A = this chain, B = another copy of it.
Amino acid sequence: MADKLPLPLIDHAEGQLFLTQAFNIIVEEVLCKGTDVKQKVCHEWKEPEELAELLDLELREGGEGQQKLLQRVRDVAKYSIKTSHPRFFNQQFAGVDYHALAGRFLTETLNTNLFTYEVAPVFVLMEMEVLRGLRQLVGWTEGDGIFCPGGSTSNIYAMNLARYQLFPEVKSQGLYGLPRLAIFSSPEVRMAVQRCMSDYTVERSRMIPEDLDQKIELSKSQGAVPFLVSCTSGTTVQGAFDPLDRIADVCDKHKLWMHVDAAWGGSVLFSKQHRHLMKGADRANSVAWNPHKMLVAGLQCSALLLKDTTNLLKRCHSANATYLFQQDKFYDVNLDIGDKSVQCSRKVDCLKLWLMWKAVGSSGLAERVDKAFVHVRYLVEQMKKRDGFHLLREPEFVNVCFWFIPPSLRGKEGNADYQDRLAKVAPTIKERMMKQGTMMVGYQPLGNKVNFFRVIVFSPLVSQKDLDFFLNEIERLGDDL
């Protein structure tokens, strides 16, 4: 039988040649062309049916040759949006950092799982160090934390911890039989929090501390047990910061877990000039912070930071799987951190941030944050000088929300159909923008405010030219509306 055993199915020389050729395509198509302002953000807009056909997505019985596969790499790059392009202003991620990217390639190739020291010795220690660095910026000299696959998971973990601290029996007995648990959050809470709350009663409260205090009293008087207040540092649309210090007073008074969703805004903590926006964060119990957003670490990189020093995270989430967390190992099993997570397989998300941080230092990251604020100030000043741009409000952060008022609507604010017509401006400009591919920026309505643009400026690749282009391009695309 022995000599009939199948041979290894991977040819290393052939595989490494393919990988090198693919790497060259990636550098050329995504990193060179994809960041070149002479090239488009959206190469060529395609309707889904056409794109599906062009890409020939179908999976078949047989394999394909290397040249065809390289063409597939080229096609995927070609028809994808160039999110690193300096004129991609559409989301809370943008730009590229080459050190972080090298860290990502290394992570992918080492392909390990962050659950035990034996299988991920470097990354167990590295994650601890990166979390320590982030906690220090919050203002904590000790504590705990974990990297999660996004802000929603970080927020869910905070909720798990808060309720486990109050009711440890929930872990073995479930929620049934517990009193009605109530969470408090602001009405503009981002999707990532809203989606996590379906197990609980949710009280939406404007994060005016006095108002919050009253809502908590009312909730208690109605028989609920408030257990968590979720504040936001950097809302998704407007970039607003809740007054953490005063909310902390209310949480202290009622002995509630204070969670700060700083997924978007957390990076201000690097900046001496702007960290005041999160004054009071050190009084929270937990902070969620996504370096994959403003710090350009790359998706996914999301940290949950905890003030706790009692191993709450592990006590709350541990399942003590014997096949991973043997207690008779020859090293300190406290380094087997996998039991802190609800996940079993957990990707390494710390290396990219660590390598970038090593490359530019805390001062380099602070410089990026400060640069973004300067750019936003410039953009806002330019908008005020132009007729067609109307700000929703002065930005607190790097989100600039504005309506573009085309010439035909200027001075017509009193007309009955003004809001209806204004609501159609942003979608039309967006459609033209996508089809011409010149840049990308998002729009949305909010409450009673009709569709407005939200331009987000923070990519380290952006220059003044790009900001001027942005304004000119909005005018060019919308002046005939």
Contact = CB atoms under 8 A, between A and B. Distances in A.
A113 B461 CA distance: 19
B302 A345 contact: yes
Contact of A125 (B1, B57, B104, B331): B57
A177 B343 CA distance: 29
A363 interface: yes
Contacts of A409: none
Interface in A378-437: 378, 381, 423-424, 427, 430-431, 434
A123 B445 CA distance: 26
Interface in A192-246: 192, 194-202, 236-237
A73 B200 CA distance: 45
Contact of A1 (B27, B123, B330, B378): B378
A77 interface: yes
Most buried by B among A105, A323, A431, A451: A323
Nearest to A60: B361
A265 B381 CA distance: 59
Contact of A2 (B15, B72, B202, B378): B378
Contacts of A190: 321, 344
Nearest to A97: B10
Given A10-B460, A27-B20, A322 B446 contact: yes
A330 B426 CA distance: 11
B98 A345 contact: no
A171 interface: yes
A180 interface: yes
B359 A69 contact: yes
A443 to B, nearest CB: 7
Contacts of A197: 174
B344 A151 contact: yes
Contacts of A357: 59
Interface residues of A, number: 176
Interface stretch (A275-283, A367-375, A469-477): A367-375
Contacts of A122: 51, 55, 76, 79-80
A118 interface: yes
Interface in A448-479: 451, 454, 460-464, 467
Interface stretch (A28-36, A252-260, A304-312): A28-36
Most buried by B among A51, A176, A199, A451: A176
A169 B60 CA distance: 42
Contacts of A178: 176
B5 A464 contact: yes
A47 B329 CA distance: 13
A175 to B, nearest CB: 5
Given A10-B460, A79-B122, A119-B91, A105 B108 contact: yes
A119 B81 contact: yes
